[in-house]
Structure 1
Amino acid sequence: MLQRLAQLSSALLLIAAGHIAAQDGLSPGDAQREALRQFLESNIVASESFDDRFDAEVWLVDMSARLTRYVPDADSRLQLLRQIHAAASRSSLAPELVLAVIEVESHFDRFAVSRVGAQGLMQVMPFWKNEIGRPDDNLTDNLTNLDYGCRILQFYLQREDGVLHRALAAYNGSSGRRVYSDKVELAWREHWRTSNLNWSD
């Protein structure tokens, strides 16, 4: 059922991109960017994610121990983990996958800036703020950065029919190569794995 829903979402995104291209005379690449812009604009929201207190405590205690090497302060760790879990859940992503992406992207440094200007935990490019009409958003704010990053990764997972390596390569801007996605998979396997993810192509 979940796989069917993912396939349906992916098909709708491709149809939307095709419609945008035909309607506005855009190239396929520009149409994909416009589809992602519209997806972000309609999905950047805030909410809680844990429904069961026991499940929350088990997950938070487990992940907090794993995160200690990056975030020494216990209160900061728990706050960050709650934020990550919420953003991942809203985007239908495994929180452990998001943790692996953050480890590779920024090593949990909210003020990290890449050589091309990507910012924050999930290394989001600032131009997306203007693209979706939110120029005042602060990408060094964890909640904001996680919302953007998780929604962008969700978009690419839907577009790539749930194939993690292809979606991660698109997220990183390295489509057609496996270096980045292999790093994320390794981080997930060594540090964050709690249950299986399908890494097969």
Structure 2
Amino acid sequence: MTLPVSPTSISAQISRRKCLIRLSSGGMLLLFSEYASAGGQLEEPLMDSVRTALGSAIANHAPPVPEFKDSESKIAYLRWMGAMSERLKKKMPELQIRQEFLQTVWYESKRAGLDVTLVMGLIQVESNFRKFAVSSVGARGYMQVMPFWTRVIGDGDPGKLFHMQTNLRFGCVILRHYLDRERGDNFLGLGRYNGSRGRAPYPEAVFAAQRSWLPGDRALG
């Protein structure tokens, strides 16, 4: 059972240090140079209707293939992919993995009604684009999703949070949920995502990282 963790204890526990993580899915040992620097959503009671809606939002496992209403939208997407792929090259050297990641981020962001640059900024702060990142409070993957979410709105298997699309799907749906709870307020929504609602450091870090992913042509955002 995952117990709620206070924002104070989260900030006290999140430190830059070495850790050895055993991945239950493959029995592998991976050495990370540091914990993920963020990630600590707090488990809160959800109304049945909200739980059902969130569960439905993460249930569809169709391939993340973007659809476009016209050729201009498709061209904008391809230009975005090219520009972002170049910026992400140092963090994800393998082209195929990088393209799959960007396509999935685009798809899941648009699906959840989120600004893709905000999601990219959040991922940078949460995991620095590391698929197998684990925080000191147990948050997992690119978007540092807390395992309790798989029990609350998923199938109960936290190991799936290391799967690219699953992690990005959960993260985007959860962020959308928090933004809706805060009536679209990015500052408060991001704080809730991090378990530090009302505190400035985390939202400000995401906003700063977001600027790194703004396209030169604003029409690509």
User: TM-score if structure 2 supplies the norm length?
Assistant: 0.70
How far off is 1:110 after superposition?
0.7
Give the secondary-structure state (helix, strand or coil) at the position aligned to 2:161: coil
How far off is 1:55 after superposition?
2.1
Q: Which amino acid in the other structure matches residue 92 of structure 2? A: V
Q: 1:102 to 1:78 in 2, by over 3 A?
A: same
Q: Aligned partners of 1:76, 1:132: CA distance in 2, in Å?
A: 27
Q: 1:63 to 1:113 in 2, by over 3 A?
A: same
Q: 2:206 aligns with which of 175, 184, 194?
A: 184
Alignment partner, residue 87 of structure 1:
108
Kept in 2, the 8 Å contact 1:36–1:152? The answer is: no
Alignment of 1:112-127 (within 5 A): 112-127=133-148
Root-mean-square deviation (CA), in Å?
Answer: 2.0
Q: Which amino acid in the other structure matches residue 176 of structure 1? A: G
Equivalent pairs, count: 167
Q: Which moved more, 1:110-119 or 1:30-39?
A: 30-39
Residue 171 (1) aligns with residue 193 (2):
yes
Q: 1:109 aligns with which of 130, 133, 156?
A: 130
Q: 1:115 to 1:37 in 2, by over 3 A?
A: farther
How far off is 1:187 after superposition?
0.4
Q: 1:157 aligns with which of 167, 176, 179?
A: 179
Residue 40 (1) aligns with residue 91 (2):
no
Alignment of 1:135-154 (within 5 A): 135-136=156-157, 138-154=160-176
How far off is 1:32 after superposition?
4.6
Q: Aligned partners of 1:132, 1:140: CA distance in 2, in Å?
A: 17
Larger strand percent: 2
How far off is 1:53 after superposition?
3.1
Deviations 1:19-57 (A, max 9, x none): xxxxxxxxxx94457665333202113443241432221
Q: Which amino acid in the other structure matches residue 49 of structure 1? A: P
Alignment partner, residue 15 of structure 1:
none
Q: 1:106 to 1:36 in 2, by over 3 A?
A: farther
Q: Aligned partners of 1:152, 1:30: CA distance in 2, in Å?
A: 12
Q: Provide structure 1 residue ranges, at least 5 long, that are not aligned to the other structure.
A: 1-28, 197-201
Kept in 2, the 8 Å contact 1:49–1:90? The answer is: no
Larger helix percent: 1
Alignment partner, residue 24 of structure 1:
none
Q: Which amino acid in the other structure matches residue 51 of structure 2? A: R
Q: Which has the higher contact order (CA 8 A, sep 6+)?
A: 2
Q: Which amino acid in the other structure matches residue 72 of structure 1? A: P
Residue 49 (1) aligns with residue 73 (2):
no
Kept in 2, the 8 Å contact 1:39–1:155? The answer is: no
Q: Aligned partners of 1:30, 1:73: CA distance in 2, in Å?
A: 38
User: TM-score if structure 1 supplies the norm length?
Assistant: 0.76
Q: Which moved more, 1:123-132 or 1:139-148?
A: 123-132
Residue 96 (1) aligns with residue 117 (2):
yes
Runs (4 or more) in structure 1 with deviation over 6 Å come to none
Q: 1:100 to 1:35 in 2, by over 3 A?
A: farther
Q: Provide structure 2 residue ranges, at least 5 long, that are not aligned to the other structure.
A: 1-42
Q: Aligned partners of 1:33, 1:167: CA distance in 2, in Å?
A: 19
Identity over aligned residues, as a percent? 39
